């Protein structure tokens, strides 16, 4: 899989891994004058460059300790050259804290001194957990936080973000305000995918219930197909989604997108990924095959790699404020994530900034992110996984479904047809799910003998994989499809039979 990137300054490789083990020494101090220009990578198909380090909107920006000014974290990141910023409607005061920082930076449209060029130099992403765009009803497996409370649903969240970041925080925002991207937040179930795409085809204001994607599309394109954007505003530039939990569900979300809606994906990805139903060999290759921008999160498993017990943070005293630990440094964990094929940037929440370079989480984590996409060898990545696997016995990724090994091809079907007096047997199936190793191929078997093998390619559309066999007789036969991974492990589908004719 190809990965494009731009490095404005080449750095000497400073891998934390050596033949003797993993270095835990802090980085050399960098004064304001000597701090390097940050590496950037092309963000999928969007033709923009994003810094490999992105500032996450949680940690102290959301759960703020009494002695921390969260706006100063944002300002310091901006000053260091970070240009990717993340927040969410679910992150308490996070969006308002960005608003305070942006006023200092003169990034508010209509404000005296507004710097439009400076605003265009950053990529600002927020999120919505609303699954409905219009109407809405309770459905099993659908985690819409409002259950239809707001008549304009997804638009409500977009305007709430704009108001908190650029406006008065109570609903108003100045003309010219926009978000670079809105992500559908924390996608977890197939039922949610169904709702999100509801009404996406032949969209009409007469529809009682419309999923969030159709309304977000209106807010991106300045259209009013849903009836929810009568002023035909363009409030967002791009649309994507995020997920922590299920790579199969996230794969389905991408596969359903036949409409060019999804530009990016935010995905949980750290060095304990392969101990669970992993993202790196399942959904990330699908996103990469569609040239989506891919953002990594949970690099430290929301602090579970360090002092916090595994589980969602909900108080300021749970925020980790140290730079790694003496036993498990942060640098190789960041490097692992950013050298995973398909990743463009990693958002990392910051608990603490400090004038002492060695104690400043922000500076140390930004420096750790200055690595090329191929900056670690495969052996070095394996060493980082071994290190991470010792942390809490590898049980850090509480947000991810358990590993269940290589799966057989999904939804296998068989049909027959007669053409010119000859019988043809058509097999169709959907992608298998990778275990600890990437998928390699699919073997086609007839009557317990392999008759063909097809290379696996990420399934980016609803159309299944297909194979047509001409057995050359009219006898009965049994067929199966076998998924094969890079280690040679195999998983067989059920056998399907054709009768003699």
User: Are 303 and 352 within 8 A, CB to CB?
Assistant: no
Please indicate, yes or no, whether residues 157 and 275 belong to a single structural domain of this protein.
Answer: yes
In a domain, 40, yes or no: no
Give residue-wise pLDDT tens across range 172-219. 999 999 999 999 999 999 999 999 999 999 999 999 999 999 999 999
Taking 80 as the threshold, does the pLDDT of residue 33 lie above it? no
pLDDT of amino acid 151:
54
Sign of CA dihedral 97, 62, 342, 192: negative
Strand stretches in 64-122, DSSP E: 84-86
> What is the pLDDT, as a whole number, of residue 11?
28
Residue 188 domain flag: yes
190 and 230 together in one domain: yes
Q: What are phi and psi of 75, to 5 degrees?
A: -65, -40
Q: For residue 327, name the pLDDT band (cuts at 50, 70, 90).
A: confident
**112's tokens:** 């005296």
Q: Find the domain containing 480 and state its range.
A: 410-498
Which pLDDT value is given to residue 29? Answer: 36
377 and 452 assigned to the same domain: no
Confidence tier at 8 by pLDDT (50, 70, 90): very low
Residue 13 has pLDDT above 50, yes or no: no
pLDDT tens track for 247-265: 999 999 999 999 999 999 9
**Number of separate domains in the chain:** 2
pLDDT, tens only, 421-473: 899 999 999 999 999 999 999 999 999 999 999 999 999 999 999 999 999 99
Q: Has residue 15 been placed in a domain? A: no
pLDDT 10s digits, 72-110: 999 999 999 999 999 999 999 999 999 999 999 999 999
pTM: 0.92
- Looking at the fold, whether 473 and 371 belong to one and the same domain comes out as no
Give how far the C-alpha of residue 82 lies from the chain's centroid of Cα atoms, to the nearest Å. Answer: 19
CATH number (domain holding residue 421): 2.60.40.10
pLDDT (tens digit per residue) in 43-78: 999 999 999 999 999 999 999 999 999 999 999 999
Mean pLDDT, residues 371-394 taken together: 97
Round to whole Å and give the CA distance between 307 and 104.
33
Q: Which two tokens stand for residue 209?
A: 């219930």
Which one, of 230, 225, 303, lies nearest residue 261 by Cα? Answer: 225
The confidence score (pLDDT) of residue 149 equals 57
- Does residue 19 sit within a domain? no
Note the pLDDT of residue 136.
87
Q: Is the pLDDT of residue 145 over 80?
A: no
Nearest to 81 by CA among 57, 104, 49, 103: 49
Of the residues 346, 366, 394, the one at which a domain ends: 394
Final residue in a domain of this structure, among 335, 364, 394: 394
| pLDDT the model gives residue 137 | 86
DSSP state of 239: E
CA distances from 72 to 59, 76, 152, 206 (A): 13, 6, 34, 47
Q: Which of 369, 394, 419 is the last residue of a domain?
A: 394
């Amino acid at each position: 899989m190809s990965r494009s990137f731009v490095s404005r300054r080449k750095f000497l490789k400073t891998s934390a891994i050596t033949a003797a083990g993993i270095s835990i020494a802090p980085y050399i101090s960098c004064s304001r004058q000597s701090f390097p220009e940050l590496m950037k990578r092309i963000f999928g198909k969007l033709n923009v460059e994003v810094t490999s380090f992105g500032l996450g909107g949680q940690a102290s920006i959301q759960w703020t300790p009494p002695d921390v000014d969260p706006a100063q974290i944002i300002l310091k990141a901006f000053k260091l050259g970070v240009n990717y910023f993340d927040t969410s409607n679910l992150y308490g005061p996070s969006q308002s804290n960005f608003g305070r920082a942006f006023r200092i930076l003169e990034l508010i449209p209509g404000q005296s001194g507004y710097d439009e060029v400076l605003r265009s130099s950053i990529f600002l992403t927020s999120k919505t957990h609303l699954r409905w765009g219009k109407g809405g009803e309770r459905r099993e497996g659908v985690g819409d936080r409002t259950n239809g409370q707001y008549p304009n649903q997804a638009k409500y969240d977009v305007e709430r973000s704009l108001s908190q970041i650029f406006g008065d925080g109570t609903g108003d925002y100045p003309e010219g305000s926009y978000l670079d991207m809105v992500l559908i937040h924390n996608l977890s179930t197939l039922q949610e995918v169904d709702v999100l795409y509801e009404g996406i085809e032949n969209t009409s204001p007469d529809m009682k219930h419309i999923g969030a994607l159709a309304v977000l599309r209106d807010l991106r394109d300045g259209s009013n197909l849903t009836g929810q954007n009568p002023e035909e505003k363009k409030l967002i530039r791009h649309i994507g989604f995020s997920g922590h939990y299920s790579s199969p569900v996230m794969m389905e979300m991408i596969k359903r997108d036949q409409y060019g809606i999804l530009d990016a994906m935010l995905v949980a990805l750290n060095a304990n990924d392969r101990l669970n139903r992993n993202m790196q060999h399942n959904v990330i290759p699908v996103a990469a095959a569609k040239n989506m921008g891919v953002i990594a999160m949970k690099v430290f498993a929301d602090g579970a790699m360090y002092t916090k017990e595994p589980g969602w943070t909900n108080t300021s005293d749970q925020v980790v404020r140290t730079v790694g630990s003496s036993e498990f440094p942060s640098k190789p964990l960041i490097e692992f994530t950013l050298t995973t094929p398909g990743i463009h940037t990693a958002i990392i929440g910051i608990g603490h900034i400090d004038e002492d370079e060695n104690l400043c989480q922000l500076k140390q984590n930004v420096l750790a992110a200055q690595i090329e996409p191929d900056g670690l060898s495969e052996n070095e990545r394996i060493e980082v996984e071994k290190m991470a696997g010792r942390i809490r016995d590898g049980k850090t990724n509480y947000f991810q479904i358990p590993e269940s090994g290589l799966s057989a091809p999904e939804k296998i079907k068989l049909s027959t047809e007669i053409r010119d007096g000859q019988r043809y047997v058509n097999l169709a199936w959907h992608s298998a799910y990778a275990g600890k190793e990437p998928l390699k191929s699919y073997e086609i078997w007839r009557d317990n003998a392999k008759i063909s093998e097809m290379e696996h390619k990420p399934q980016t559309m609803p159309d299944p994989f297909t194979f047509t066999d001409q057995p050359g007789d009219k006898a009965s036969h049994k067929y199966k499809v076998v998924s094969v991974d890079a280690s040679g492990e195999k998983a067989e589908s059920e056998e399907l039979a054709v009768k003699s004719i």
